[in-house]
């Protein structure tokens, strides 16, 4: 039960942080959240847990938050700004990859007690981050592209630019998350886990993404409301 409560708490905390970052720091705040979430998700993803009757990796909520960030940017700031967030996430991951590998390359002092634990954690990080980099860039750029395709379709079909936010939000995220989950599971875990475990990871991850996608829709509406009322403190 503790895992389920922690996951629910994580969704509330992370989505709340995204909204507050946008309110108080504008798109700059969202860029910061995107960079931080991308790096932390690459660390969390190596942890396997059981929750809601499914075996799953941590990091799903943080990865979902990066899609929330690009959807808010697409809706409120434009396609170009959403694309910047994607490439900032790629840069942040590359920066972390190089730096984290340098940590374990150092020869520790005789009195050191932490190097072994750090090495154990980050020795598997390169594969995860490289897989994440490729999949993140592909799925996120696809998500941004699809978001605006849905937007163009509904605007042309119904003559209203503001309606159907829920459709472009969920229509882009749910489809791009299939691509994201499938590719990441194959690239990151092939040869590490058996097929049954990999399928379980894929299925549980996508179920989590369905839930987080549906839950982030009100957050996008709130972000647009903040934008409309010009309640953003700093851009």
pLDDT given for residue 16 in this prediction = 96
Which pLDDT tens digit goes with each residue over 64-109? 899 999 999 999 999 999 999 999 999 998 898 888 889 888 999 9
- If you average pLDDT over residues 134-151, what whole number do you get? 93
Is residue 235 scored above 60 in pLDDT?
A: no
Tell me the percentage of the chain whose pLDDT exceeds 70: 96
Q: What gap in Å lies between CA 81 and CA 62, rounded to an integer?
A: 20
| Residue 6 near residue 214 (C-beta atoms within 8 A) | no
Average pLDDT score over residue span 105-124: 86
CATH architecture of 2-228: Orthogonal Bundle (1.10)
The pTM (predicted TM-score) of the whole model is 0.89
Structure-block tokens of residue 67: 């899609």
78 Rama sector, left if φ>0, alpha if ψ -120 to 50, beta otherwise: left
């Amino acid at each position: 039960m503790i895992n389920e409560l922690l996951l629910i708490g994580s969704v509330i905390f992370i989505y709340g942080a995204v909204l507050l970052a946008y309110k108080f720091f504008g798109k700059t705040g969202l860029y910061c959240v995107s960079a931080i979430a991308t790096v932390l998700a690459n660390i969390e993803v190596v942890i396997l847990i059981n929750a809601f009757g499914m075996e799953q990796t941590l990091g799903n909520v943080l990865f979902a938050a990066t899609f929330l960030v690009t959807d808010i940017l697409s809706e409120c700031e434009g396609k170009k700004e959403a694309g910047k967030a994607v490439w900032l996430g790629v840069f942040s991951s590359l920066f972390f990859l190089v730096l984290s590998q340098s940590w374990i390359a150092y020869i520790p002092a005789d009195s050191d007690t932490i190097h072994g634990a750090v090495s154990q954690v980050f020795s598997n990080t390169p594969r995860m981050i490289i897989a994440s980099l490729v999949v993140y860039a592909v799925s996120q750029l696809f998500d941004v592209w699809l978001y605006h395709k849905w937007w163009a379709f509904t605007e042309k079909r119904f003559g209203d630019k503001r309606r159907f936010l829920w459709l472009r939000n969920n229509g882009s995220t749910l489809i791009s998350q299939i691509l994201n989950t499938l590719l990441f599971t194959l690239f990151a875990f092939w040869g590490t886990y058996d097929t049954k475990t990999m399928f379980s990871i894929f299925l549980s991850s996508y179920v989590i993404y369905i839930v987080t996608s549906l839950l982030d829709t009100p957050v996008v509406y709130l972000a647009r409301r903040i934008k409309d009322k010009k309640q953003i403190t700093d851009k």
